[in-house]
Amino acid sequence: MNRTLLRGARVVTMAPGRPDAERADILIDGDRIAVVGQDLDASDAESVDLTGRVIIPGLVNAHLHTWQTGLRAVGADWTLMEYLTHLHGGAVRHYRPDDMYVSNLAGALNQLNCGTTTLGDWCHNSVTPEHADAAVEGLVQVGIRAVFLHGTPYRDPDLPHPLAEIDRLLDGPAGDHPLLTLGMAVQGPQYSSPDTAVADFRAAAERGLVTSLHQSGGDLAPGWDAVRDAGLFGPRTNVVHGSDLPDGWVKRLVESGVTFTSTPENELGQGHGTPVTGALLRHGAAPSLGTDVDTVVPGQVLTAARVALAHQRGLDHARHRQSTGTHATTPSVTAKQALAWATVEGAKALGLADRVGRIEPGMQADLVAVDTRALNLWPAHNPVAAVLHADIANIEAVMVAGRWRKRDHALLHPGLDKIKDRLLESGERLLRAMDTA
């Protein structure tokens, strides 16, 4: 089994009880982290000198509709209602399986390039089994760790999730892959009838799957009470957005172990409502982060972390001034908390906290090396902040399950130019179809 020794870097482990950053070596044995310590000696391992870099756990983009990659930036000025009208009311019916494949292939490659090693792929355009299989294949070809959250285009509130398709995926393409996990992207209690919402949650629980759902502003539908009364909210429930949820509901869901994923740049720009970050923090919880839609915002989860941090600090500063008449003397949220949202909390939201999100012996070797020698980060006096301030150009190397997917600032996947050509062709065809619909 291959062994790799990463030496010379400063390491942000995100593990409890360890310093925020430390000088340490990391010994990788196969797909796992074997040892984290100083001056490790492993003569049988490939030695990689990463002096001047900061190593962090692989980032987790917990919510991305990767199937939209081919339509990147077409909705940069769309409101939420325009997005739903043009994308879900128009484009979805023109997607072919090959569009799903190339969007997921290119989208997942972009995530690796940005330092994301684990992707929550919320695929609510699985129109046919062929569409779903093509999307899964795109993820598998890239070698990213992914939770494929199977969903369908918006449908009648009384129609349950297609469980035969879930079972087919479990028995086939998503059943036994070391980097791929299946989950359910359900319409959820906001967009399903109470009976349908309960049935979908119960089906996911019976299969041990993460159940992820959208909720953005507005009064809560009766399905919320129905799922609560059935006792089906729990640690494998993931609420995406959760904007403007009543505080009592946030408290109740947190106490049940429910996770939340905020996509702050998109939520603020499109009008989803106020990001749930502050409400979670008040109840001793924290969000995971996603970038949501490449059609509207860029897919960099570090950008999402900075937006979430700045927005929450802004709210807290304003609240402090209003209540005291003076400026705050200490920050309400720290850079390390924001980095945790993009690592530890993301792993928890996707049901992978026992595998990724921290650098510890026994965890999967999903790692990112950030080059802090670059002019925009040097000198990196605060390694945690330097990582949070990093851009794609600073993401020097990315490893998933002990295998390099990016080295020396370049992706290792072959045929990138051909993939880009296919993505352009797919996107232009979909745009033409939308214009003539």
Cβ neighbours for 121, distance < 8 A, ≥ 6 positions apart: 64, 65, 66, 104, 108, 135, 139, 146, 147, 148, 149
Q: Are 261 and 315 in contact (CB under 8 A)?
A: no
> What is 363-375 written as a DSSP string?
SB--EEEEETTST
The token pair that represents 379 in the structure block? 């000198």
Q: Are 153 and 122 in contact (CB under 8 A)?
A: no
Tell me the domains of the chain and their CATH numbers.
3-58+357-411 (2.30.40.10), 59-341 (3.20.20.140)
Per-residue model confidence as pLDDT tens for the chain (437 residues)? 699 999 999 999 999 999 999 999 999 999 999 999 999 988 899 999 999 999 999 999 999 999 999 999 999 999 999 999 999 988 888 999 999 999 999 999 999 999 999 999 999 999 999 999 999 999 999 999 999 999 999 889 999 999 999 999 999 878 789 999 999 999 999 999 999 999 999 999 999 999 999 999 889 999 999 999 999 999 999 999 999 999 999 999 999 999 999 999 999 999 999 999 999 999 999 999 999 999 999 999 999 999 999 999 999 999 999 999 999 999 999 999 999 999 999 999 999 999 999 999 999 999 999 999 999 999 999 999 999 999 999 999 999 999 999 999 999 999 999 999 999 999 999 999 987 75
Q: Are 148 and 182 in contact (CB under 8 A)?
A: yes
Instruction: Give, in degrees to the nearest 5, the angle at Cα 140 between 237 and 91.
Output: 70
